[in-house]
Amino acid sequence: MTVRKGKKLTISIQEHMAIDVCPGPIRPIRQISAYFPRLSPTSSTSEPLSPNPAGFPTALSPGGGASTGSGGLLSPVLPGATGGGGGGGGTLSAMSSMDTSIEIDSCDSDDSTSLGTLEFDLLYERATSSLHCTVIRAKGLKPMDFNGLADPYVKLHLLPGACKANKLKTKIVRNTLNPVWNETLTYCGITEEDMYRKTLRVSVCDEDKLTHNEFIGESRVALRRVKPDQTKHYNICLEHPPPLPSPSAMSAALRGISCYLREWESEQQRSLEERGRLLLSLQFLPPSSEGEGDGEPKERVRSGLCVGVRRCAHLAAMDVNGFSDPYVKTYLKPDLHKKSKHKTAVIKKTLNPEFNEEFFYEISFSELSTKTLEVTVWDYDLGKSNDFIGGVSLGCHSQGDALRHWVDCLKNKGKKVERWHTLTNELPGSTYHD
């Protein structure tokens, strides 16, 4: 284009874009506001907000009739169409007469996309204190890979609980959006109190070998709705995880309080992190008399406490291979002479060890009421310090299940009392060294 000196050529932005990208004749490009014109709530219906560079008259929609409401939409119409009092058939949207078609919902939104459904069963056995989750199948999962498919697996997580101690997952089914597992995952050591206060998070993920595994969807089930010894069937839609409350969305007065509460809650979760379950048996043996013959004097046998370490379940993984080498230690404190330490054997590469070992503490009933039994679980490491996994303290100053177990043992002399205990990463009064 040649422009003589002294003459100023004025080119609009639409013409400038048309010159750069269109090889044909120059045509003004319609603005975005022409496709989506809207009325301001404070403006009158006779004054459109957006300009109409194409020169089309405008009409109120829907129906083409004049509307006095403030929330109506303005639509460009073809030349010759009336916008005042014509019927609905006389008004035609300019979008249908344009050369290029525009898809309103062309972008893929996660909010409007179905994540799929998941079918599973839940069964709580009161006699064995175990929770069984049978993952059956999933249907219509969201595609996560480039081939339009996914490599899904299901992951279980008890809330509240430690991230590593109580996660279970199924096998991976390759290249499908309708996987079938028919796999049962079992949690051991689930008490009735756990069933009342805990929630089972069931999430479906896509396995990727080169990158991080991708999250597809989840569902959360309150375990208090599951009746003991009765199978409950679920067929539910997967959902996005619930959003965390953001302090920025609150008022300035509540923002500082919210930050403090979130920090305090995270600190409490760290200090009371669950590290697995431990099955203990306690039995107080009263004093008895024994003798070899009728003419021989009888020997007095002192009373004592028999501690049985049965098994652990869903321990936290402390090694890089995803397992631990656990063993259990017991103390009866206060222990001035440090003679109350007992230790089980080490079981290699497992998070669900079975020990079935018993230890005997010779002590009177009056002395036992002032003692505290501390049980700790450790991960054995060769050549370096052993890692502390978790522990529990049983005594008259304990709380919850630990206190109930201790009181039941003292009340039922000579009877063996078994109970599951939750291991935490913090045991009051103990030193974390082996």
**Region 80-103: what's the mean pLDDT?**
41
In one-letter notation, the amino acid at residue 384 is K
pLDDT at residue 308 greater than cutoff 80: yes
Contacts of 343 (CB under 8 A, 6+ apart): 327, 328, 329, 330
Same domain assignment for residues 65 and 118: no
pLDDT at residue 77 greater than cutoff 50: no
DSSP, collapsed to helix, strand or coil, labels residue 408 as helix
Are 88 and 62 spatial neighbours (Cβ–Cβ below 8 Å)? Answer: yes
Same domain assignment for residues 183 and 283: no
Q: Would 367 be classed as within a structural domain?
A: yes
Buried b (16+ CB within 10 A) or exposed e, 284-312: bbeeeeeeeeeeeeeeeeebbbebbbbbb
Same domain assignment for residues 280 and 407: yes
HSE (CB half, 13 Å, CA atoms) of 75?
Answer: 23
Contacts of 150 (CB under 8 A, 6+ apart): 141, 142, 143, 144, 175, 176, 177, 206, 216
Same domain assignment for residues 82 and 125: no
Same domain assignment for residues 129 and 88: no
In sign, the C-alpha dihedral spanning 110, 112, 114, 120 is positive
Q: State the pLDDT at residue 125.
A: 93
Are 279 and 423 spatial neighbours (Cβ–Cβ below 8 Å)? Answer: no
The residue among 140, 175, 133 whose CA lies nearest residue 154 is 133
The most confident of the ranges 21-30, 82-91, 153-162 is 153-162
In sign, the C-alpha dihedral spanning 261, 266, 270, 273 is positive
Are 305 and 284 spatial neighbours (Cβ–Cβ below 8 Å)? Answer: yes
Same domain assignment for residues 89 and 222: no
Quote the percentage of the chain above a pLDDT of 90.
36
How many distinct structural domains can be found in the chain? 3
Q: State the pLDDT at residue 131.
A: 94
Same domain assignment for residues 139 and 225: yes
- Domain coverage including residue 359: 274-288+300-424
Strands (E), 198-303: 199-206, 214-222, 232-237, 274-285, 288-290, 299-301
**Region 33-62: what's the mean pLDDT?**
46
pLDDT at residue 40 greater than cutoff 50: no
Same domain assignment for residues 188 and 118: yes
Q: State the pLDDT at residue 166.
A: 76
Phi (first) and psi of residue 203, to 5 degrees: -125, 145
From residue 39, alpha-carbon distances to 104, 213, 408, 409 in Å are: 19, 46, 74, 77
Least confident residue range of 83-92, 314-323, 337-346: 83-92
Q: Would 216 be classed as within a structural domain?
A: yes
Q: Report the DSSP pairing between strands 232-237 and 387-395.
A: unpaired
| Angle 89-91-93 from CA coordinates, rounded to 5° | 120
Same domain assignment for residues 415 and 280: yes
Q: Let me know how long the chain is.
A: 434
Q: Would 7 be classed as within a structural domain?
A: no
Q: Would 259 be classed as within a structural domain?
A: no
- Residue 236 CA to residue 150 CA, distance in Å, equals 19
Give the pLDDT band (50/70/90) at residue 100.
very low
DSSP designation for 311: E
pLDDT tens figures, 191-235 = 888 898 889 999 999 998 888 889 999 999 999 999 999 999 999
Are 318 and 378 spatial neighbours (Cβ–Cβ below 8 Å)? Answer: no
Say which CATH number the domain at 123 has: 2.60.40.150
Least confident residue range of 256-260, 326-330, 345-349, 418-422: 256-260
User: Looking at per-residue confidence, does 337 or 408 come out higher?
Assistant: 408
33 conformational bin, left if phi > 0, alpha if psi -120 to 50, beta if neither:
alpha
Same domain assignment for residues 132 and 219: yes
DSSP, collapsed to helix, strand or coil, labels residue 16 as helix
DSSP designation for 184: E
In sign, the C-alpha dihedral spanning 54, 56, 59, 63 is negative
Same domain assignment for residues 155 and 72: no
**Region 399-406: what's the mean pLDDT?**
90
Q: Would 20 be classed as within a structural domain?
A: no
Are 116 and 177 spatial neighbours (Cβ–Cβ below 8 Å)? Answer: yes
User: Looking at per-residue confidence, does 86 or 330 come out higher?
Assistant: 330
Q: Would 431 be classed as within a structural domain?
A: no
Quote the percentage of the chain above a pLDDT of 70.
61
Same domain assignment for residues 153 and 214: yes
Q: Would 108 be classed as within a structural domain?
A: no
Q: How far apart are the first and last CA of the chain?
A: 87
pTM (2 d.p.): 0.58
What is the distance of C-alpha 164 from the center of its chain? 12
pLDDT tens figures, 116-159 = 999 999 999 998 889 999 999 999 999 988 888 999 999 999 88
